[in-house]
Chains A and B, each alone.
Chain A
Amino acid sequence: MTTADDIFEQSANNIHNLGLREIPFTESPTDLQNKTLDRIFTGREKELRQVFNLFQNRERRRILIYGRIGIGKTAFLLEILSVLTRKRPKMLTTYISLPSELDLATTALIALAKALPDDDWAQRQLHQMGIPTAKEIKERTSEAGTNAVFVGKFSEKDVAPNKAQYPTLSLEILLDRALEKYPDGVLIAIDDLDKQNPRRVRELMHDAQGILKGKAWFMLTGHPLGITGDLLTSERGLFDLQLKLEELDQPTTYKMLINYLNSARINNNCDDVNDPLSVLPFSPETAKEFCRVSLGKPRFFNRLGNAVLSTAANLGVTHITSEVLQQGFKTIEKDRKLLLAEKVMENRIFQLLQKRGSLSDETITIEELELLGVKSYSEIVPYLERLDDEDFVQRSPQLDEIAYTPILLPSSDP
């Protein structure tokens, strides 16, 4: 064994000392196996009920799930798909993250074609778009004889890839083919619209009105900034259900922590919220503090969890005491400071936020805007959104203003 092997073993042992096989926290739910996601997915009962009620209906539906980045939209979407796969085996479910350069029709076509690996026509569509398929696609040429009886000789050569000219039409055709095999319907889930420029999202949505009213069920995830009011109103909008995902409350976050830890625990699983064993290697006090600091934001929760457990492992401890927890927060704070130092404008805004306690479009003054080098609050909203996405700030719940407060970790300097 090499020194590197030793270090690997030591690293694994440090995690085992905490009673865990691995660090269960991950910021990307798509990295998880379905079974693991099912174990750790927590809460959102009301929202799940709203979605599943719709699926008791035969009529095709369009569902929009929106919320801030990191609020758990992808996990929510994947959990629904996982349940439907089990409960509706005659329904085809597909998932795709929206590629940056594609429209919704083409994206939906790719998702559906990938879900039909045995359909030649579907695979040809992929091949024509230059997307790898399971089987190589060959073109057939023929040489026909001139006599009355047709005598053909077939040879095959590779097809040169082409772009799909009519993605909407191709999607319709493919949907018809899929519905023959899946009589309960086809659900196409398109994720990560919120990673696009908000203006592009509006354009995508408007251009996709045709396919969204077609033969498939659609579930899309987005970001409030990218969604215009008209899409959110069912009178003239595109969606039958618009679900906003908010931060989880503290009891749900605590339960989520239990589920995460149980998914990686070596033995002695316990999911009784009143039993201190359920949150090991945390104590109930440090678990509660951890959940409080995470603010019910799943991605931030995972980020913090990673940092805290990594710190605990590096320290070689078996329990996460208050000191270890603070040390974990300090690690994250250091990373945050480094990240912020590279972004001049975000840094300036954050400094002002820390000083003022909050910033809002209602109360900000011209002088404060001048300090930031801008003339309007709308100029700093994109920066505030980015700070929100990176968990430096959070949007206040007031409905009549756009206000932000800083997220200060307990270890932060005043």
Chain B
Amino acid sequence: MTLDWLKNIDPDTLAKFAALEVKRDDDWFLKESIEIIMVMPDSTQVYKFWRANLDCLNEDLLTILEQWAKKNLTSSRSKKACALAKELIFFSDYIDEFPLGSIAINKELAIKGYQLVLTVLTFKKFPQDWARIQNVLGLAYWSRIRGERADNLETAIACYQEALKIYTFTAFPQDWAMTQGNLAVALGSRASLTNNAQDLDQAIELYGQALTVSAPGSYYFISQQYRLGNTLARRYETSKNPDDLQQSLAAYQIALDYLSPEHYDHQQFWQAIPATQAILGSRLVRDGNWQEGLKLLVNSLNQLKTGDNSLVYANALYQTGYAYELLSDQENARLYYRDALRLYEHLQDLPGIATSRESLGNVFVSQGHLEKGMSELAQARDIYQQLGKTEAAEKVDNTYQSVQQVLEQVKSEVLA
């Protein structure tokens, strides 16, 4: 067949014809993604595809995913459906980690994907896969951006508890340990929201149980020791039980002792060494072991200043300021609080800004710069109120009022 007939078509008509877009199926993007994943199981190629079609990673894809699943994930008895479900697991894993586009939408797609997989890979027929999905679904809800944090955490906790029905200590000890650890993290996060001490207690117990199984020196072992240290330290804040502090320090020390260059590939460990040093250092200072504590803090700063996580560096700067404040070295305390504040402001981290301004205010007051101190305290109070942290706002306001009284007294004495 020749295309000579095209020469006889009116040019305007030809142009209109050329301008017409080729109509694709709505689910072409999803289908192509799955096909790429089927052929190339690692994420490189599919990430390339997604980078080139970022506009397709949108809200509509959630509906498209559901419609595709209705058509394709028909029954757990269908081999094809089960095979597609397993590809969908990869899709969900990759989209959860994809750093571009809207992270919130990516997370929703991952959650939707996992939920749809569970309709095919059921508890009865595919218990291990089911348990794995429950675990990763729990992780997805824990890191979910949309929805109420409290509700997301409840769902995450429920997912982990479901996974633990299959991941028992006797049958799957390593998976059991990993899931226990994840559950502990979720409980710890819930405790941050609700100040529920029982959640912290349970988290600590779970870490302890998980650590009996996790292989010493493994990623999970180090991560769990570090998190155990964190949780014990948080419990110490309210319990003031010296055992909690001692155990927290011991857990951090174990994590640090096991960290070695082979772990440095893990992004979080690269930060964890100096970040842990910073936390350990600040704990030691609070415990009265000033020299050792300050040494660790300064070491951590030397490493963190060259890292790419400014928030961790800001936190370490703040801790160092706090250590100096405990040592009554107000000038250095002020220096480090200011540095922390500058970074927090750059990062727009409101909680960090509030605590830095509060601490800076206290230091100014103790140095006799009452008006400057009051200005910082007022700003801290306002931010705490904005964040809904009424207790913290009240505490700062009480300090502010006391300083105001002192200032008025001083002024009236001067006038007299």
State the A residues within 8 Å of B (CB). Answer: 199, 202-203, 206, 224, 228-230, 232-233, 361-362, 364, 366, 369, 374-379, 381, 399-400, 402
Contact = CB atoms under 8 A, between A and B. Distances in A.
A399 B367 contact: yes
- Which 10 residue pairs spanning A and B have beta carbons closest together? A229-B328, A376-B339, A229-B329, A228-B329, A230-B328, A361-B338, A400-B369, A366-B346, A228-B327, A378-B339
Contacts of B342: 364, 366, 369, 376-377
Given A375-B343, A379-B305, A400-B372, A230 B327 contact: yes
A206 B291 contact: yes
B91 interface: no
A361 B335 contact: yes
B103 interface: no
A361 B339 contact: yes
Chain A interface SS verdict (over half): helix
B342 to A, nearest CB: 6
A202 B310 CA distance: 29
Given A199-B298, A400-B369, A402-B335, A376 B330 contact: no
A374 B328 contact: no
A203 B339 contact: no
25 contacts: A199-B295, A202-B291, A203-B291, A228-B327, A228-B329, A229-B324, A229-B328, A229-B330, A232-B328, A361-B334, A361-B335, A366-B342, A366-B346, A369-B342, A375-B305, A375-B313, A376-B305, A376-B339, A376-B343, A378-B320, A378-B335, A378-B339, A381-B335, A399-B369, A402-B335
B317 A376 contact: yes
Interface centre among A362, A377, A378, by most chain B C-beta atoms within 10 angstroms, is A378
Nearest to A229: B328
Interface in B354-372: 364, 367, 369, 372
Classify chain B: how many residues form its interface, as a range.
20 to 34
B367 A400 contact: yes
A375 B310 contact: yes
Contacts of A224: 331
Contact of B328 (A228, A376, A400): A228
Contacts of B336: 378
Contacts of A378: 301, 317, 320, 335-336, 339
Interface centre among A202, A230, A400, by most chain B C-beta atoms within 10 angstroms, is A400
B353 to A, nearest CB: 14
A381 B331 CA distance: 12
B294 A199 contact: yes
Contacts of A402: 331, 335
Contacts of B331: 224, 229, 402
B308 to A, nearest CB: 11
B364 to A, nearest CB: 7
Contact of A362 (B310, B328, B338): B338
